[in-house]
Structure 1
Amino acid sequence: MSSLQVYFICAGYRTGSTFLWSLCDLDENTTAIYEPLHPDLDRRVNRPPSVESSHKHVTDYFQFFRLGKTSPKLLGWSPDLALSNFWLTEDDQFDALRHYISKLIERAPTSKVVIQFNRCCFRMNWLSRNFPEATIVSLHRSPHDQFSSIRRNVPSDERNRYRYDTFYLLTELSMLLAEAPAVFADVSEFDIREAFSRMWLFHQAEAERFAKFTFYYDEILAHPASAIEELCRSGLLDFALMKKYLAKLSSPREKPDTPSAEKEFNEIFSRQRDRYCNSKLGDLCKHGGTKNDIRQMVHEGILHQCNTVSSELANMRSSKFILWWYGKFINPNIYGTPNDL
C-alpha cells in the first residue's frame, strides 16, 4: 500500500505514552495499537477490559486485538519479545520481533498505523533499519517526574532502594545491565536514582540519533495547545480532529513530590549527567558508537561496573523474578506488583 503511514511511539513508563496513544486512537482513520510487546498480552486480551482510572478517554487498551478477533500468539507474539534483546542495534537479528511487527502493520484496517511501544526505547536503531518506512517518535518526561511517578506507590523509606519492581523499572535496569553494562559505569551503590538517571540519559542519546521527532510530556502538560500543534505537524495527530477535541481534553496530573525529595533527585541526576556527558561512554554514544564498541570499553577497563549495583540488579534476574513474568510466581511483599497500565 503506497499511501501507508506508520508511526512508532517509543517511550518509557510514566511518560504520557498512554495519553498520546489515546489521542491517536480518537481518529477513526488511524489504527492505534497499544503496547503489543506486553509480556502478559495474551492473558490481558482474553479477559474483560480493565482501565486505570487516571487514563481518561480510554475504554479498552487492547481493542485492536479484540475487534479484529486476533490472537496475539497467532501473529507471533511471545513474552520473549519483551524479555530478551532489550537493546538492539542495526546489525542485530531479531526475526521474531520483525515478523510480529510486520504482521501488526499488515492487519491494520487503515492506511495510518500508530504503534505505541514501552519496550523499544533502546531498539530505535534496529527499528529504523528494519522498518525504514516508519516514523519514529520518542516521548520523554523530566527525569524527576518520571522517577517519582514510577515509584509513587513504594513506601518512602524504600523508594530509592533496589526493591519493589514498580512499572518494570528493576526489570529494565537488569536487562540493560546485562546488555549494556557500561551505561552503569561508576554508579554508586544502593541508590536506584543513579541507575535510573543513567538509563534516562541513554534513552535520550538513542532518541537524538534515531528518532525523527522527540516530544516531552512536560511540555504537553504545560502548553497543550502548542504541543498538540507540534504533534499534528509531525503527522502523528490530525489537526482538525484535535482542534475539535482540544478544549475537552485533559491529561492526568499527579500529586507533586516534596520539594526536598525533588531537590535531592535533581542534584543526583545533575551529577550523573555531568559524569555521563564528560565520559568516554557519553562521547561514544553521541558520535555513533556501536554495541561492540561500548562493550569493548568495559573489557579494556576504560569503564568499570559497580559490583554492588551489578549484584543487586543481577539478583532481580533470579529464578523467582523470571518466573513472575510467566505468571507462576509473585510475592508483592518483596517485589511489589508491577503494572504498566
Structure 2
Amino acid sequence: MSKLKNVSLSLFFKFLQHKTVEDALVSLIQRATRKPSLSQNYTNPYLDTSNQIQPNNQDRAIFITGRFRSGSTLLWNIFRQIPLFTSYYEPFNERRWFDTAGRGSKVDKTHLGVEDYWTEYNGLANLDKYYDENWISENLFMDSATVLPAMEAYIQELISHAKGMPVLQFNRIDFRLPWLRSHFPSASILHIYRHPRNQFCSCIGTQNTNKDSVVKKFHDGFYLNLWCEDLKKQYPFLAKKITPHPYMRFYYLWKLSYIFGKEYADYSICFETLCQEPETILKETFQALKLTPEIPSKCLELIVQQDQTKWTRFADDQWFSEIEQHCERQLDQYFPVR
C-alpha cells in the first residue's frame, strides 16, 4: 500500500509540474485572492481633516527606470557624483546591498568609474525586514491598485534615509510604474532607453554568438526568460512556445518597457544622444526635473562614445527588421488604436 501511495504521489506531483496545469493553478489562485469588489474608501465621519498631515512619501525623490544594459548604471553614477543627491543602485537587486556580509565585492568591469554599488546602503541593515527576493521574479507587472506594503515601506525607508534628494535607479520597475506613480505621486520618474539591437548584443555578448547560433548558445544573463515567463500572463505573446527566438522576446520586452516609460515617466533620455551630447542632455534633464545643480566635470568624464554598429556583427539589417516589424504588427493588434 505504501509503495502504491508513493507512486500515486509521484505521479500527482509530476502532474502539478506540467506547465499548463501550473498556469491554470496560478490563474485560480489569482482569482481567489483578488481584493473584494468594494467601490471606494468611504470617509471616516470621526476623522479630523482640519489639520492635514503630509505623508512621508510626499518627499521629493527621483526614480530612474531602464532595462538592463540601457545606460541606467551610467545615469545612477552621474547622480552619485553630485553632492545634492543620494543615489541608490538597483534597490531590488538580489545581492541585497544593505547586507554587508552577503553582498560580496564584485563590480562589473563594463561599469566605468564604479568602485562599488553599496556605499549608500551602509547603515541600512534594517531593510532586511522588508526585502523580498521574489520581487525580482514575480509580480513584475503591478497596476496602481496593487497592494504590496513591504515594497512601499522598503522604498520609503531608502527615501527617508537619504541625505539630500534621494535617487533610486531601478532595472525592475518598468512594468510597475503605474504602482510607483500612484504610491509616490510627488516623485519624478526619469526613463532611459537604448537602441534595442545594441542593447540585446550587450546583454548576450556577441563574441561567440550570431543569429545562426544564438538559439542554441543563448546565455540568459539578464533574466529574459524569467521576465517573459512572469509577464506572459499579461502579454501572452511572450510565451516561449509562441515566441521562441530570444531576440523576438527581447524586442517585445524592450518595446513594452519603452511604452511604459513614455506613458508614466516625467522625462525620457535616449542613451545614444546622451553619449553624443552629454552636457546638453544633462542640462535638459535637470531642467525637466526643475533642478539646477552644478554638473561636475567628472560626470562628463564618465560618458564615453559607444560603438553603434555592434549589432552588425550579430546579424544584418534585414534579419533584425523582419523580427521587429513582426513584433510591431502584433503590438498594434494588442493595443487599441488611439
TM interval, shorter chain, is 0.7 to 0.9
Gaps of 5+ in 1: 288-341
Structure possessing the higher relative contact order (Cα contacts under 8 Å, 6 or more residues apart): 1
Counterpart residue identity of residue 140, structure 2: F
- Please tell me whether residue 167 in structure 1 is matched to residue 222 in structure 2: yes
After superposition, the C-alpha distances for 1:233-261 in whole angstroms (9 at most, x for unaligned) are 1338754224x345533337358133561
Shift of 1:275: 2.9
Shift of 1:158: 4.0
Listed one character per residue, the Cα deviations across residues 266-285 of structure 1 (whole Å, up to 9, x for unaligned) are 331122113312x1x222xx
Show the counterpart of 1:250: 303
Write the deviation string for residues 46-84 of structure 1: whole angstroms up to 9, x where unpaired: 355332222122121111112xx2226435112022222
User: Displacement, 1:166?
Assistant: 1.2
Q: Distance in 2 between matches of 1:234 and 1:64?
A: 25
Separation of aligned partners in 1, 2:241 and 2:191: 26
Task: Give 1:96-115 correspondences, 5 Å limit.
Answer: 96-110=150-164, 112-115=165-168
State whether structure 2 residue 78 is matched by structure 1 residue 23.
yes
Q: Distance in 2 between matches of 1:159 and 1:282?
A: 30
Q: For 1:260 and 1:74, how far apart are their aligned partners in 2?
A: 42
Q: 1:71 aligns with which of 125, 130, 148?
A: 125
Question: Secondary structure at the residue paired with 2:214?
Answer: coil
RMSD: 2.9
Q: Which runs of 4+ in 1 moved over 6 A?
A: none
CA contact (8 A) 2:99 2:125 kept: no
Counterpart for residue 117 of structure 2:
61
Alpha carbons 2:231, 2:238 under 8 Å: kept = no
How far is the alpha carbon of 1:93 from its aligned partner? 1.1
Which structure has the larger Rg? Answer: 2
Matching of residue 134 in structure 1 with residue 187 in structure 2: yes
AA partner of residue 119 (structure 2): Q
Change (3 A) 1:167 1:251: farther
Q: Which amino acid aligns with 2:163?
A: P
Count of equivalent residues: 278
- In structure 2, list runs of 5 or more residues that go unmatched: 1-55
1:8 aligned counterpart, secondary structure: strand
The amino acid across from 1:253 in the alignment is Q
- Counterpart-to-counterpart distance in 1, 2:323 and 2:243: 13
User: Normalized against structure 1, the TM-score is what?
Assistant: 0.73
Identify the range of structure 1 (255-264 vs 180-189) with the bigger mean alpha-carbon deviation.
Answer: 180-189
Hey, what's the Cα distance between the residues in 1 that align with 2:207 and 2:235? 26
d(CA) in 1 for partners of 2:130, 2:290: 26
Report 1:1-341 matches (<5 A): 4-41=59-96, 45-46=100-101, 47=103, 49-66=105-122, 69-71=123-125, 73-74=127-128, 76-110=130-164, 112-152=165-205, 155-156=208-209, 157-160=212-215, 163-177=218-232, 179-184=233-238, 188-235=242-289, 239-242=293-296, 244-245=297-298, 248-251=301-304, 253=306, 256-258=310-312, 261-263=315-317, 264-277=319-332, 279=333, 281-283=334-336
Contact 1:88–1:123 (CA under 8 A) maintained in structure 2: yes
